[in-house]
């Protein structure tokens, strides 16, 4: 995809976020939009691909919308980071150890649902209480091209469903809330795949 097309995708992501997410309610402001040569969310080495992303920031945390291009359009990923998460790095050095600094909603939402690490390993990716209720109330679109729209509508729903715990969990001002989540992720990967990086920050 050409650079101008990727830049246009940034505008599309921005419009999606500012149309559907309750950004103002939670104090989020537009921080940046960029094109990078890496795969968002991929920890281990692999082929590079260019992707577009926009980041919103609040006093509590950061939210990143990333568009990975597909033949039928693009796949939207929405990841969450604490305030120290850099724009385009998934792993950083934290307390002299590598750690994941951007987090998918999968484990965040399962943790907020009260699921144990052992139970989470057995569950399909993306399944949560919020997703179940959302799916019942909002039937999926028939057109595959509308997958990004459905993804952002789900996260808008999840923000309300998990308020205010989601953003408090990510807030560095509440370390007592983060410690149990970090332990949850560690135990999850000990069962799921001990070779995966299990430290989060």
Counting the structural domains of the chain, the total is 1
Per the CB < 8 A criterion, the answer to whether 162 and 61 are in contact is no
pLDDT of residue 2: 61
Measured between alpha carbons, how far is 172 from 137 in angstroms, rounded to an integer?
A: 34
Classify residue 197: in a domain, yes or no.
no
Looking at the domain assignment, is residue 37 inside a domain? yes
CA 1 to chain centre: 23
**Per-position pLDDT tens, the chain of length 201:** 567 788 889 999 999 999 999 999 999 999 999 988 765 444 444 445 678 999 999 999 999 999 987 777 788 999 999 999 999 999 999 989 999 999 999 999 999 999 999 999 999 999 999 999 999 988 888 777 788 999 999 999 999 999 999 999 999 999 999 999 999 999 999 999 999 999 999
Residue 199 belongs to a domain: no
d(CA 92, CA 137): 39
Rounded distance between C-alpha atoms, residue 86 and residue 175, angstroms: 19
Residue 14 lies in a domain: yes
CA distance 10 to 29: 15
**Which range marks the domain in which residue 109 is found?**
3-192
For residue 108, the SS3 value is helix
Q: Is residue 185 included in any domain, yes or no? A: yes
Q: What's the pTM value of the predicted model, to 2 decimals? A: 0.91
Rounded distance between C-alpha atoms, residue 3 and residue 13, angstroms: 15
């Amino acid at each position: 995809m050409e650079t101008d097309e990727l830049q246009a995708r940034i505008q599309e992501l921005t419009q999606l976020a500012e149309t559907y997410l309750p950004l103002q309610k939670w104090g989020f402001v537009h921080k940046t939009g960029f094109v990078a040569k890496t795969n968002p969310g991929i920890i281990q080495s692999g082929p590079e691909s260019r992707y577009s992303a926009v980041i919103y920031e609040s006093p509590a945390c950061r939210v990143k919308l990333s568009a990975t291009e597909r033949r039928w359009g693009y796949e939207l990923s929405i990841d969450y980071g604490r305030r120290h998460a850099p724009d385009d790095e998934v792993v950083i050095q934290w307390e002299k150890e590598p750690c994941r600094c951007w987090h998918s909603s999968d484990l965040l939402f399962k943790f907020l649902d009260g699921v144990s690490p052992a139970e989470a390993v057995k569950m399909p990716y993306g399944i949560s209480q919020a997703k179940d209720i959302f799916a019942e109330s909002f039937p999926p679109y028939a057109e595959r091209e509308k997958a990004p729209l459905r993804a952002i509508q789900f996260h808008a729903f999840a923000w309300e469903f998990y308020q205010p715990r989601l953003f408090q969990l990510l807030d560095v001002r509440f370390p007592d809330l983060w410690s149990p989540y970090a332990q949850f992720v560690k135990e999850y990967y000990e069962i799921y795949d001990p070779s995966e990086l299990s430290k989060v920050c």
